[in-house]
Amino acid sequence: MRAAQGSATIALITTSGTLTPLPHRADLSTGQLSLVALAMGAGALALSHINDAGYWMFTKLAGLDVAAGLRTWTVLTTVRGCAGFALTTALWPLV
């Protein structure tokens, strides 16, 4: 969702609206619901590229061209998002 339209806020709102019925049917605990929310937040961090305002702020302030921004900012945000998702996955059995 984030890669397609660019805004992390809209991606989170759309994802939460789409997934709302699923946690109720799965009968998740409060801790598990918290991890689902954290996983959605991690997904909203990933894949920031040329249709994202944050990408343009970073590249302009850092003095980078588009290619360098894709190699740095996009890779960095994707690693952060994947790391957050991996952390929530690792915490799932503990909750």
Q: For the chain, how long is the longest CA-to-CA vector?
A: 49
Query: Cβ–Cβ contacts within 10 Å for residue 77, how many?
Result: 22
Q: Decide: helix, strand or coil at residue 43.
A: helix
pLDDT at 15 exceeding the cut of 90: no
pTM for the complete prediction? 0.78
Mean per-residue pLDDT for 14-30? 84
Cα(40)–Cα(58) distance, rounded to whole angstroms? 23
Residue 84, amino acid: G
Q: In which residue are the tokens 């992390």 written?
A: 8
Q: In which residue are the tokens 């957050």 written?
A: 84
